A and B are shown apart, each in its own frame.
Chain A
Amino acid sequence: EDQVTQSPEALRLQEGESSSLNCSYTVSGLRGLFWYRQDPGKGPEFLFTLYSAGEEKEKERLKATLTKKESFLHITAPKPEDSATYLCAVQAVVDGQNFVFGPGTRLSVLP
């Protein structure tokens, strides 16, 4: 069964304090790994898609990387507006119909 876990569950950073969020997955063949950002009361906002181990994508202060078993979302010099829940999801080759979402990491960036 495809599974996605995320750590930590919650993370509190000072403004400018860089850190990483982890997404570990177990799938029978990865079709794609997706990162989303979700603000309270809103729908998830698409950030990145990663397809194969070694791939990296960047957007402003965020950088996503992928290995065969996990993905990292690196946040460099975060600002308070980066506070949100970050979700990762996987789409498997065998069960490609569904996205399996992780529980998310709740990030708070304090000024």
Chain B
Amino acid sequence: KAGVTQTPRYLIKTRGQQVTLSCSPISGHRSVSWYQQTPGQGLQFLFEYFSETQRNKGNFPGRFSGRQFSNSRSEMNVSTLELGDSALYLCASSRFYRASGSGNTIYFGEGSWLTVV
């Protein structure tokens, strides 16, 4: 059974550019969430999508956005990149909307390493 797939694995962008990251969840999983991981801040929640609707959003500026398609695949976009956006961006999937059940486990992809120069 395939796991969560994220593309691209590595990318380098220049300040001011925008970037789009892609995530394919585990087959049968309908919830996709995104996290940013940096050495200083650890894992921070960006947003969660379920049934093509954003259900929750973390404390990130509006430059960070996402969407989910009917096949549950998701993309996140960061516009007007800043140096501080350099991080590992992780996508996680779960079968259900996470608030709907007890201990709804999320499974992570390998992440997309973004470097902003």
Contact = CB atoms under 8 A, between A and B. Distances in A.
A98 B56 contact: yes
B43 A87 contact: yes
Interface string B55-80: 11010000000000000000000000
A86 interface: no
A43 B103 contact: no
Contacts, number: 60
A98 B107 contact: no
A43 B99 contact: no
Interface residues on A, range: 20 to 34
10 contacts: A36-B108, A43-B110, A46-B106, A97-B55, A98-B48, A99-B33, A99-B106, A101-B42, A101-B43, A103-B42
Interface of B: 4, 6, 33, 42-43, 45, 48, 55-56, 58, 88, 90, 92, 98-99, 102-111, 113
